[in-house]
Amino acid sequence: MTPRVKDILENLNIEAPFNLAEPWDNVGLLVGNPEQEVTAVLAGLDPTNKLVDEAIARGANTIVTHHPVIFKPLSAINTAEPAGRLLEKALSNRIAIIGCHTNFDSASGGVSDYLALQLGLGNLRPLQYTDDNQSTDTGLGRLGIFPEPLSSGDFLTRVLNTLQLPAVQMAGNLPEKITTVAVCGGSGSDLATVAFARGAEVYLSAEIKHSTAIWAVENNFCIIDGTHYATEKPAVTLLVKKLSETIDKKGWKIQILQTKEECHPFVLLDRTHQL
Amino acid sequence: MTPRVKDILENLNIEAPFNLAEPWDNVGLLVGNPEQEVTAVLAGLDPTNKLVDEAIARGANTIVTHHPVIFKPLSAINTAEPAGRLLEKALSNRIAIIGCHTNFDSASGGVSDYLALQLGLGNLRPLQYTDDNQSTDTGLGRLGIFPEPLSSGDFLTRVLNTLQLPAVQMAGNLPEKITTVAVCGGSGSDLATVAFARGAEVYLSAEIKHSTAIWAVENNFCIIDGTHYATEKPAVTLLVKKLSETIDKKGWKIQILQTKEECHPFVLLDRTHQL
Amino acid sequence: MTPRVKDILENLNIEAPFNLAEPWDNVGLLVGNPEQEVTAVLAGLDPTNKLVDEAIARGANTIVTHHPVIFKPLSAINTAEPAGRLLEKALSNRIAIIGCHTNFDSASGGVSDYLALQLGLGNLRPLQYTDDNQSTDTGLGRLGIFPEPLSSGDFLTRVLNTLQLPAVQMAGNLPEKITTVAVCGGSGSDLATVAFARGAEVYLSAEIKHSTAIWAVENNFCIIDGTHYATEKPAVTLLVKKLSETIDKKGWKIQILQTKEECHPFVLLDRTHQL
Amino acid sequence: MTPRVKDILENLNIEAPFNLAEPWDNVGLLVGNPEQEVTAVLAGLDPTNKLVDEAIARGANTIVTHHPVIFKPLSAINTAEPAGRLLEKALSNRIAIIGCHTNFDSASGGVSDYLALQLGLGNLRPLQYTDDNQSTDTGLGRLGIFPEPLSSGDFLTRVLNTLQLPAVQMAGNLPEKITTVAVCGGSGSDLATVAFARGAEVYLSAEIKHSTAIWAVENNFCIIDGTHYATEKPAVTLLVKKLSETIDKKGWKIQILQTKEECHPFVLLDRTHQL
Amino acid sequence: MTPRVKDILENLNIEAPFNLAEPWDNVGLLVGNPEQEVTAVLAGLDPTNKLVDEAIARGANTIVTHHPVIFKPLSAINTAEPAGRLLEKALSNRIAIIGCHTNFDSASGGVSDYLALQLGLGNLRPLQYTDDNQSTDTGLGRLGIFPEPLSSGDFLTRVLNTLQLPAVQMAGNLPEKITTVAVCGGSGSDLATVAFARGAEVYLSAEIKHSTAIWAVENNFCIIDGTHYATEKPAVTLLVKKLSETIDKKGWKIQILQTKEECHPFVLLDRTHQL
Amino acid sequence: MTPRVKDILENLNIEAPFNLAEPWDNVGLLVGNPEQEVTAVLAGLDPTNKLVDEAIARGANTIVTHHPVIFKPLSAINTAEPAGRLLEKALSNRIAIIGCHTNFDSASGGVSDYLALQLGLGNLRPLQYTDDNQSTDTGLGRLGIFPEPLSSGDFLTRVLNTLQLPAVQMAGNLPEKITTVAVCGGSGSDLATVAFARGAEVYLSAEIKHSTAIWAVENNFCIIDGTHYATEKPAVTLLVKKLSETIDKKGWKIQILQTKEECHPFVLLDRTHQL
């Protein structure tokens, strides 16, 4: 049997239930026909023209992205601009686009879970429980502990390796020994106070505002900004893995592909001008 | 020179300035590329799959409709449903879709102006002035007078001829002699009190609510519901005429086509069951 | 014992519980004294001066209407206008006026229930359940099935007979055989998508907007606009019947009268000019 | 010529333009028929059943009150309660009721103007200018100065005489010599800070909140609570005088009556139990 | 053991749970350090500079007031004004300030409970139940009955004694015999209709608006305005008593002081000019 | 003459008029007494405990910061936390704190102006005009041009030198030759689309969101994130310079000090672990 787009949606709904999405979010099938048969699925972080081109080139007619292709509802589709051109390209090529955003952030085994696991953290609990229900394992961010305390140097090496970054920005003081760490893949500046109150020694997230950094310094807390892309990219690998397992179990003959073209939107430029 | 979509927009902006649109409305280029060269323009009341099919069949890559193809901003494009299929069809075929809605209602020489002229009314003034500025000639609906009073029978015949309908619904009492008439093409139930206060003897509009009809009976006023489609259809003819004149004046070699396929969404069924 | 106005209210609250009313609605005793003894009750659809005159003429000091006599809260009572004159007339003549609006729409055995029964539909369920509670039998509109499929012609005849109309407006295509029908007495344009999604083959309601009609055509659905008055009028008969039974059971010596003067606010005018 | 209710409204609109009313207020003709011929006008502060009874007894079919008979828009008229009984009485007896509330407060020559004049203050300016336009003479409250400083004792005597009260409540310290005084007839607690900032030595108003009194003590400011009734009652006398002058000038043969029945809703009870 | 500020908060939370506060209110620790050791506690109604001075003079570094020291959130602290000077003084002298406002109003054994007990009322129930839960003993105001009916004279004497006032304002008619009384310490004008509907013969509260007084007269109801200060002052005594008992029970060696400096912000001035 | 805090405010109001602040902002004298004599002024970006300590150590009793010490209005002052401790410290030491935030951003000669000048840009215009008034020289961000095009390498060197940073993050492609540049000191992610539409080749700002970076890549635009601190720090130097000039001109004997203690809240950590 060949799965349809709605079958992929159904499987995603098990891994990252769409009703876990924040009220302001937009997830699920955002472009395309739920009845269409799937040739292959391509997964990436961001819905870009480059990603749609890659889907076409690799024969995938279904795309799953973390960030939703339609976020602010559309009043017009201007195909002279990249956002409109993307929709034109997808619709002309009968490519469906699915968004798994904050539902994948909050899911058990979701974005922050995987980031925490990659760092070697255990005993994971949500940083901010869904609906303040502390008996659940869903919610934004994760709080975990290392089996044994890490030195600041070892911790930093592990962070850079996990994020595959040459360097990160840090606010406050990194403790000499680190046991309890909070993480939140993507934009997590507003959860810094929660991480501090919950007893984390370090908080790894991204898009940390200046005011949050100043607050961390004043409170002698430590926050690392690992960039939005790098803290969420591991989640794509996870998504591909999960979907592939399902596909195999069901005996469906389609491939789940991970993007090869997507890259970090930011590059770090120093005085050597290495562009 | 071949005009581009943006040139058509510029001309429409002269006939029916987009800034006259109501704040809740959505007008202008709603789908497509403003830089695209226009092959031909097709005009209709409603953006339907049938109309896009007609555009493809007749070689028109630009559509102008009265009702906007995107009204409530879109959170998703589901191509299993007619509304999503229409966008897929338009974008796949590189067809631009422009909306001229309440800006065309309020424009001088707009929807209600033309309806009033077809009825033979003269001395036309807006029924509800734009921004309460009574020195302007823009606004919703029109108030006009016949050069000479009409008998109720002659008036009714003229209404049915103009609207090309076999029958209309009427609330209240039709006066024996009629001189002053208010009209508002499309949904105009809420302007009935204005028409009455401004001294109209009859108000011709559409989508008249039961409560408005009861109000008319209580006030011994007369309201005719000419249906949304029939009271606005004349405007399409007007739009085609205006655009054609512009095209001619500029020496552009494209055709402005009026839809041949569009028809009244409602049919009147009596006991003879003529479907 | 002679019942008081509050006794009538108490009985109505059993037939059509006032707490079923929509939040924007205004129901219950809207004018008058709950302690006043009732001489007779007159029931009608709309609170008009004609109806109050009829109450006076027939010796009824209590009126029950479907549409509330005060809907938008009053900032002033201008007795030079019909609405103010009605209040002056009712208060001067010590006539109480009760409104049973959306509570009667949603009640089990309410407006749409009765319309559906008149059409011969069975197995009735609410079209839109109150508070999405599917185990209840209250809600707006009804969905029902015919014991045996009806031909389009027979169905249409039955609709015209029930509504006592010479003709109705229809959007979309009437199926050749009809089994499942949704109905909603009064203004039900917004429930058309629910009727379609719930599997109705035809939706009978009133005040169907142009945009809903276009949507029906695009989806090949069938909607009949039976006018607000004609789809709700059967409910008045029902209300009178229910109140009369209660009155009898209690041994109260008052009459429940149905209006004889109320008539359809719209008349259909064709080229024969039959006014 | 006999004036109609609308003629009275027109004259009031000159003395206290209705468009000066605060946005939350409700003024103008609140009950009755603008076309009705006026027999006599009765003026009072509050629309009560007692006042309507007095109008009936004295042959006045038009009432003008400071506080509006309908303030919060009405959802129902329950004639078992005083508010509903008043409307029933007024409508049954064809008595029109007009409200001149915050428009009369803000008018030049309005409520606070007259209160200030009674106290002997001169050089009057609005306390809070309408729309912050300081070149106007309209606005809430008045700021004025005595031709010569008054001793605290003389000032207090003058206040008690003007208000016709045996005693008043005072917060803060009364200066020994008083020159600059702010007044605001009626509920003026929120303008205390304005009075202080504008340089008043004493602020006379009513319904002064505890928190405002504490603020006055902390700032060593002096506020006198002269009660709502007593600070506004002089305005009724003024209104009668103004209307009478107009009536005379126009040669209309109707009387403008001032209520004789209305009295202070509060009485001061001490240990002598004088009820 | 010496208690800390947070220990005092914990005890207050038992007597007057902070979560009983109205949503618009601001209660709890409003200024200071929860970890600071308490030297003595001073209780008063209002947070004034005089009260902070008294705390300094009497060696108390913790203040509990009924009205919150920060009510409207602060955008700036201007120490040239009393409100800013108070904060400067408290913070410079390491004085913590706690607010127990509407939580103490609604608590069982709270402000109105104590006022009712002082009057000799029994069988006390909340006037307006918290969250409409009638099985609770928390809520605003209290309704109670005298063991035996009181004459109007005896009742008045008791009111004046309890409030320690020379006189009170009364609207409406005091019944000759009084059994059922509603009370609400502080600003209770809006609960007058509740008191009437619940069957009270007299309602004792404060900051009664003119419109409420007029309503009382029209309904032949009786309302006594005992001033905000005098109706709430007994509550301070109660608060001191409760805290002292707790302190004793725990064996803490600190004193709970009641303010000696605080006095009524209003004085009653009559023609004898007794300032 | 020794200036008072209000004199410093008056001078700041000339350099950076407080009414230029955004509606959501909080500027002006936020803590302290406007009448206090100034000993010395200390200027910094952020109101921290460290900065207040520096003021005390250097004998300055007036602090001017870019970010306001009270932003979200305060409901409580908890001195166990840094934010409350800062207020306690400032008030106990009679130190006034003034905020010059978005008024200084938008001012002519403000934050972005100075950043642009430091980069060598000329012909400066606001990026987003205040109130869309294009004839003004106030507004957020600046758009400027280099006298001669710069190579990408030279441009980058100049950016790093101006910001005194070892490296910056860049999204999109840096053009080989750069002439037109938009800058916005501080958080400027939302102005990226304006910079692009206004024709900038590069946009230098801070707190650039991931979604904005992706948008830049898709549009082939170039955005440099220079960090909030580094893009605003030059403004402090400017502020000190401006205030000093005024002080000199007036002959006031006080010093305007620039903070020596403040440093970047973020440090860049690479694999060499240089903490």
Structure tokens of D238? 């003024």
Q: Cβ(C184)–Cβ(C190) under 8 Å?
A: no
Proportion of chain D above pLDDT 90, given as a percent: 91
pLDDT tens for chain F, residues 1 to 275: 799 999 999 999 999 999 999 999 999 999 999 999 999 999 999 999 999 999 999 999 999 999 999 999 999 999 999 999 999 999 999 999 999 999 999 999 899 999 999 999 999 999 999 887 777 889 999 999 999 999 999 999 999 999 999 999 999 999 999 999 999 999 999 999 999 999 999 999 999 999 999 999 999 999 999 999 999 998 899 899 999 998 899 999 899 999 999 999 999 998 886 65
* Chains in contact with chain E (at least 3 beta-carbon pairs closer than 8 A): D, F
Residues in chain E with CB shorter than 8 Å from the CB of F33 are 78-80, 84
Six-digit token string for A131: 């609906």
pLDDT at C273: 66
Q: What is the pLDDT of residues D128-139, one digit of tens each?
A: 998 877 778 899
pLDDT score of D273: 66
pLDDT for residue C55 is more than 60: yes
Partner residue opposite C35 with nearest CB, options D31, D70, D80: D80
Sign of the CA dihedral running D118, D122, D127, D133: positive
Closest Cα of chain B to A40: distance in Å? 19
**pLDDT above 60 (res A47):** yes
Name which of C218, C221, C223, C224 to mutate to probe chain B: the one with the most chain B Cβ atoms within 10 A of its Cβ: C218
Which one-letter DSSP state was computed for residue C265?
A: S
Residue pLDDT, tens place only, E6-38: 999 999 999 999 999 999 999 999 999 999 999
pLDDT for residue E135 is more than 80: no
pTM over 0.90: yes
How many H helices and E strands in chain A?
9, 13
Residue from F89, F156, F215, F217 to probe the interface with A (highest A Cβ count within 10 Å): F217
* ipTM tops 0.90: yes
Task: Report how many Cβ contacts below 8 Å link chain A to chain B.
Answer: 74
The shortest C-alpha distance from E10 to chain D (Å) reads 28
**B interface residues, A as partner, C-beta within 8 Å:** 26, 28-35, 70, 72-80, 84, 87-88, 91-92
User: Residue F178's closest CA among F142, F196, F151?
Assistant: F151
In a mutational test of the B interface, the residue from A70, A79, A92 whose CB has the highest number of chain B CBs within 10 Å is A79
How many beta-carbon contacts under 8 Å exist across C and D?
A: 74
Note the pLDDT tens digit of each residue in E54-111.
999 999 999 999 999 999 999 999 999 999 999 999 999 999 999 999 999 999 989 9
What mean pLDDT is predicted for residues D13-36? 96
C275 pLDDT above the threshold of 60 = no
Determine the straight-line distance between the first and last CA of chain E, rounded to whole angstroms.
48
Question: Among all residues of chain C, which has the CA nearest to that of B167?
Answer: C270
Arithmetic mean of pLDDT, A135-152:
94
- The Cα–Cα gap between C17 and C27 comes to 10
Q: What is the pLDDT of residues D180-231, one digit of tens each?
A: 999 999 999 999 999 999 999 999 999 999 999 999 999 999 999 999 999 9
Q: What is the pLDDT of residue D274?
A: 61
- C274 pLDDT above the threshold of 70: no
Confidence of residue A56 (pLDDT cuts 50, 70, 90): very high
Residue B254's CB is within 10 A of a number of other CB atoms, namely 20
Q: What is the pLDDT of residue E132?
A: 73
Average pLDDT over residues C171-179: 96
Give whole-number Cα distances, A247 to A104, A250, A255, F243, in Å: 19, 5, 8, 69
- The answer to whether F244 touches F264, Cβ cutoff 8 Å, is no
D chain contacts of residue E82, beta-carbon cutoff 8 Å: 215, 218-219
In chain F, the residue whose alpha carbon lies closest to the alpha carbon of A51 is F218
DSSP letter (8 states) at residue B260: S
- Residues with Cβ < 8 Å from C2, sequence gap 6 or more? C37, C38, C252, C253, C254
Q: What is the mean pLDDT of the segment spanning D3-29?
A: 96
Residue numbers in E near D209 (CB within 8 A): 187, 207, 228
* Contact residues on chain E for D215, CB-CB shorter than 8 A: 82
Q: What is the pLDDT of residue B235?
A: 86
* Helix (H), strand (E) at residue B218: helix B210-218
| CA–CA gap between residue C17 and residue C11 (Å, rounded) | 9
What does the pLDDT average to over A256-269?
A: 96
| End-to-end C-alpha distance for chain C, whole angstroms | 48
- Is the sign of the CA dihedral F246, F252, F258, F259 positive or negative? negative
Q: Give C-chain residues touching D63 at CB under 8 angstroms.
A: none
Tokens (6 digits) for F154 = 């030279």
Task: Please judge whether C70 and D91 are an interchain contact, meaning their C-beta atoms are less than 8 angstroms apart.
Answer: no
Query: What is the pLDDT confidence band of residue A273, given thresholds at 50, 70 and 90?
Result: low
Helix (H, G, I), strand (E, B) or coil at B221: coil
Residue C39 pLDDT exceeds 60 = yes
Residues of chain B with pLDDT under 50: none
> Residue A102 class from Cβ within 10 Å (0-12 exposed, 13-18 middle, 19+ buried)?
buried
pLDDT the model gives residue A274: 61
Q: Are F21 and F131 in contact (CB under 8 A)?
A: no
pLDDT, residue C235, reads: 86
- Beta-carbon contacts of E213 under 8 Å, excluding residues fewer than 6 positions away, are D265, D266, E171, E172, E223
pLDDT recorded at residue B178: 98
Question: Per the CB < 8 Å rule, is F209 touching A225?
Answer: no
Given a cut of 80, whether residue E44 has pLDDT beyond it is: yes
Nearest chain E CA: its distance from F93 CA (Å): 8
